[in-house]
Chain A
């Protein structure tokens, strides 16, 4: 039903709240990419069956929406159930996750065969199923709120993720969704909206930390009939998935943010550019747009006002550089996604050469709460120069991987140890790679650093889009630098020489180093090239391409020196720097290794210890795999 005015929206909110309240129990099955991979669709179906059969328990059912990723999408309409597919809870490693309301029990690593027991115990008797509760250091945690992973977080942007049905607009409306839009349209002028955002000091969450209010102000000032609002959902940084989770778990929040931007700057069309690697996010957004359009929250004369707004979705086609503003708009226009020189800037001539507001997913998702709660409230969270919260994707060698949200200015120690539970397998901590291929690494001495835009800049690192990859003592930093350079080199669009040629040379040198062919001269050349590329490349991708190398060179120089001088990789990661040796005391002289060696690098007399000729050895490991006596070892 189309909402014609403010009163109709408020009425719908009242009704939605009632519907959400009515069931005696709600079963929320996480349907984020992570949990779906663990089989949550099957769990969802199982609960549907159980709920349909059960008559003794008062479970009130809400309408479901057919959905592509469940095999029984078409049948789902016929059920009336309190089982919901929620967005990502963020605790991906423990998935599939199931949360039961109102008791708030959170079950981890649930399997389809556990559903019956959960239903019997928790739904009927309100008792927890002990064995499915999250356990750490001997303590069992019955509710989600008590688990340290969640307890230490401040979830504002991700508040609804995992708590509402991402495919039901009424659930979003019931928890206060679209109140900010309502407030803006009826009680505020566009200038007031821009001012509120400016006062909140919201900074772009895509990496650069540019002031959002200032950006909006500049677009609002442009005298142009056509203006655009563009959302950057091309979250390409390897190791980052915050935006995916927002798009999958709370798509309406982001849409509301875009609409508010449209109202504030006088634009009536919006584009969302989403990576093709995120099919579920694309489907959820499509559903959300269709529902909002049907409800009259998108389209012509929204809520009976003069404000009209439409949103289109563009799928990316696999080019990392499209995360850069001018490349992204070029791609939407149907061109090669290559950045261009600026000025003119995007705010003046962006999409289709019209003034354009370009922000990322998380930035837009911050907007509704700023309008609802006010700029002063927002500034009370986080630090003075970087207010609000930031979502991070915590991954790598850490006990609890997943999506987290903390106030800006939280220390690295708190994130890695309190929320992440420390390094996996209790190996010593080595570094955190922050900001993906454009970022740098933070080391043990940086554990007390407050993560915000300005403090990180001082350390030559950046928040980037928010990927935090924890690395332990077993990670070779030279190899990590090579890995990132390989990534940026692959993704370089080739337009400017410093990036196209420079990253290629840097990669060549790094490949030499991990292959044992580097010299001290290589390190100097890397630094020279790195600085030159940083100073002269055309776009952000090129300017930051050398940062992971420069940062590891600064922090782990001794590791580089080991590689080039001693030809040694102590982590054992760099294959070419390893040596295979035969332990004479264990070798029985059976000659099996020599017979299997593809390059005849092993010599010896039968029944006497054999020897590997290191110069001829190609380090394939065949001898080690074949030795029946365990006499061959790999040394680094």
Chain B
């Protein structure tokens, strides 16, 4: 069971949108941006408030890639592996991040909840390929060396 504050927050977000089914996606998007993930309990709760059954809400939430039932790290790193970035060697960027964080294809978040790594198909910044974002801030024209510097900086900021 989640703390009451979570349900209050959900009520507040539902209040901003409304209780029609078409608001399901915007509501759970807002919940996810609040907590950096979608607590399953809140999905059930929202389904109840909107008068749709849990199975339906679950089917919608699992269909879209952006929703995560698992908590994400403090820094969400999204590496673009779109065509332009791929052609300009984004694979080397991803491998460097694996090396920096100990993450892998099957492990997306570090145990200390600091870093989450996701790959996305295109960030629409193809002119700057290869790119990655850290919590939505774009880092252009990356190289494995620049990835290393970036992590030194992020880890340094944490240690202070």
Residues of A whose CB lies within 8 Å of any CB of B are 33-34, 36-38, 91-93, 95, 235-241, 244, 275-279, 314-320, 331-338, 393, 395-397, 401-403, 433, 436, 467, 469, 471, 475, 480, 483-484, 487, 490-491, 493
Contact = CB atoms under 8 A, between A and B. Distances in A.
Nearest to B61: A317
Contacts of A493: 63
Contact of B127 (A93, A319, A331, A397): A93
A34 B127 contact: yes
Nearest to A279: B136
Given A396-B87, A396-B88, A403-B127, 20 more contacts: A34-B127, A34-B128, A38-B140, A92-B126, A238-B84, A239-B84, A239-B122, A239-B126, A240-B124, A241-B124, A316-B66, A317-B64, A320-B121, A331-B25, A333-B22, A393-B127, A395-B127, A469-B84, A491-B121, A493-B63
B13 interface: no
Contacts, number: 139
A278 B67 CA distance: 16
B43 interface: no
A337 B124 contact: no
Contacts of B69: none
A291 to B, nearest CB: 21
A336 B86 CA distance: 29
Nearest to A436: B83
B59 interface: yes
19 contacts: A37-B138, A93-B127, A93-B128, A95-B127, A236-B121, A238-B121, A239-B126, A315-B29, A318-B66, A335-B60, A336-B59, A337-B63, A393-B127, A395-B129, A401-B127, A401-B129, A467-B126, A469-B83, A491-B121
B138 A395 contact: no
A402 B123 contact: no
A44 to B, nearest CB: 16
B48 interface: no
Contacts of A336: 59-60, 63
B26 interface: yes
Nearest to A37: B138
A499 to B, nearest CB: 15
A238 B87 CA distance: 11
Contact of A239 (B21, B64, B83, B120): B83
B39 interface: no
Nearest to B83: A239
B82 A239 contact: yes
Query: Which 7 residue pairs of A and B lie closest in terms of their CB atoms, listed nearest first?
Result: A92-B127, A238-B82, A318-B65, A317-B64, A37-B138, A239-B83, A318-B66
Contacts of B23: 334
Contact of B83 (A235, A331, A433): A433
B125 interface: yes
Interface string B1-37: 0000000000000000000111111100100000000
A397 B136 CA distance: 26
B98 to A, nearest CB: 14
Nearest to B52: A334
Nearest to A238: B82
> Looking at chain B's contact residues, is the secondary structure mostly helix, strand, loop, or mixed?
mixed
Nearest to B136: A279
A467 B83 contact: yes
Given A93-B128, A331-B25, A436-B83, A317 B67 contact: yes
A314 B26 CA distance: 7
B19 to A, nearest CB: 11
Contacts of B20: 334
Contacts of B139: 37
Given A317-B64, A319-B64, A334 B131 contact: no
Contacts of B83: 238-239, 395-396, 433, 436, 467, 469, 483-484
Contact of B25 (A91, A317, A475): A317
Given A37-B128, A317-B29, A277 B86 contact: no
B66 A33 contact: no
Given A336-B59, A395-B84, A469-B83, A33 B126 contact: no
B149 to A, nearest CB: 16
A282 B122 CA distance: 16
A330 to B, nearest CB: 10
Contact of B126 (A37, A241, A315, A334): A241
Interface string B127-145: 1110100001111100000
* Interface hub of B24, B120, B127 (most chain A Cβ within 10 A): B127
A315 B143 CA distance: 31
> Most chain-A Cβ atoms within 10 A of its Cβ — which of B81, B84, B86, B140?
B84
A241 B125 contact: yes
Nearest to B27: A334
Nearest to A393: B126
A316 B67 CA distance: 11
Nearest to A332: B22
A239 B127 CA distance: 9
Contacts of A433: 83
A584 B42 CA distance: 66
A244 B82 CA distance: 15
Nearest to A487: B121
Nearest to B32: A317
B22 A317 contact: no
**Which among A93, A278, A395, A402 has the greatest number of chain B C-beta atoms within 10 A?**
A395
Nearest to B122: A238
B63 A33 contact: no
A320 B120 CA distance: 11
A244 B126 CA distance: 11
Nearest to A479: B86
Interface centre among B20, B21, B63 (most CB of A within 10 A): B63
Question: Which of B24, B67, B81, B82: most chain A CB closer than 10 A?
Answer: B82
Contacts of B81: 238
Contact of B122 (A277, A334, A403): A277
A484 B121 CA distance: 10
Contacts of A393: 126-127
A331 B63 CA distance: 10
Nearest to A401: B127
Contacts of A331: 25
Given A92-B127, A334-B22, A36 B138 contact: yes
A531 B22 CA distance: 37
Nearest to B20: A334
A37 B63 contact: no
A559 B21 CA distance: 51
A185 B32 CA distance: 42
Given A34-B140, A241-B125, A401-B126, A483 B25 contact: no
A319 B125 contact: no
A533 B13 CA distance: 43
Contacts of A335: 21, 60
